[in-house]
Amino acid sequence: MNYLEQEVIAAKTDEQALNALVENHKQWILRCASEAAHRYVTDSDDEWSVALLAFLAAVRSYDETKGSFRGFAGVVIRRRIVDYARSNWNHGAEVPVTPDAFDGQLPAEDADSVDLQVQSQVVADSVAAADRDLSTRTREEIEEAQATLQRYGFSFFDLTECSPKAEKTKRACAFAVLTLMGNPAMLDQLRRGRMLPMKELSATSGVSRKTLDRYRRYIIAAAEILSGDYPILSAYVDYIRKV
C-alpha cells in the first residue's frame, strides 16, 4: 500500500485527514470534473460540488485490495458528472438521482416520491455511458502514447515488462523522471535525440547510469506521459510527483 492509499484509509475515520486529502487533491478533482464535463470546471461551478461528493464517496467505499485509489475515484467522479449532465439534458423527463445513488443507498424520504425502478435504470444507463466514454478516451490516450513512444523505438505495451517493481527502484526512477521534467534543456535533448541524456541525467539526479539504462523505456514513457496531455494514463504514474 503506497502513501496515498494510507492517507485514504486514515481519512475514512479522521475528519482532519479527510479535509487535508480533499485540499491536496482539489486540482485533480477539478481536472477529472473538467474531463467528464468536456469543459473547464472551477470551484464555483455546480460540477465541483458533484465531483467533491463523488470524491468523498470514493474515500468512504475504497478497498485498498482492488487497485489504486486515484483510478477508482476518477471513475466515480466521471460517472457522477455524466449523471449530472444527463439530468440537465433531459429536463422534460427528469428523474431525480441523489448523490448516494451510486453507493446503492437512497434517503428514506426519497423512497416514496421516486420510482426506484426508473431511477435504477437511469443510474445504470449513466454508468454504462460513463464507462464507454472512459474506455474511448483511454484507448485514444494509449494510441497517442503509442505513437509518441514508437519514436523512441519501443511500444507502450513494453511497459509491462520494463516497469520497476521494488520500492527503492521505483523511487530512483521517479527521481530521474522528475529531474528530466524539471530540466527543459534535458527534456528537449531527449526528444530531439530520441535517447536519454545518460551522463547529464545521472549527474543531476544522482541515479546510477546502470539503473537509467535498465529502466530507460519506463523513464522515457513516464516523462512523456506526465508532461503531455494524458490525464487518464498519468494517474497510473502520478506517485512520481509525490516522491
For residue range 166-203, list pLDDT tens digits in order.
889 999 999 999 999 999 999 999 999 999 999 999 99
Indicate whether 62 and 100 sit together in one domain. yes
Indicate whether 122 and 161 sit together in one domain. no
Indicate whether 164 and 229 sit together in one domain. yes
Q: What angle do CA 20, 21, 25 make, to 5 degrees?
A: 115
Q: Count up the domains in the chain and report the number.
A: 2
Indicate whether 37 and 133 sit together in one domain. yes
Residue 148 located in a structural domain: no
Residue 131 located in a structural domain: yes
Indicate whether 71 and 177 sit together in one domain. no
Kindly report whether the global pTM for this prediction surpasses the value 0.75.
Answer: no
Residue 133 located in a structural domain: yes
Copy the grid coordinates of residue 6.
494510507
| CB contact set of 116 (below 8 Å; sequence gap of 6+) | 106
Indicate whether 39 and 121 sit together in one domain. yes
Indicate whether 13 and 107 sit together in one domain. yes
Indicate whether 62 and 130 sit together in one domain. yes
Q: Kindly tell me the burial class for residue 150, based on how many C-beta atoms sit within 10 Å of its own C-beta (0-12, 13-18, 19 or more).
A: exposed
Indicate whether 182 and 87 sit together in one domain. no
For residue range 1-54, list pLDDT tens digits in order.
678 888 999 998 888 888 889 999 999 999 999 888 888 888 888 888 889 999
Domain with 218, as residue range(s), is: 156-242
Angle between helical axes of 69-89 and 26-37 (0-180°, round to 10): 40
Residue 121 located in a structural domain: yes
Indicate whether 115 and 199 sit together in one domain. no
Indicate whether 111 and 160 sit together in one domain. no
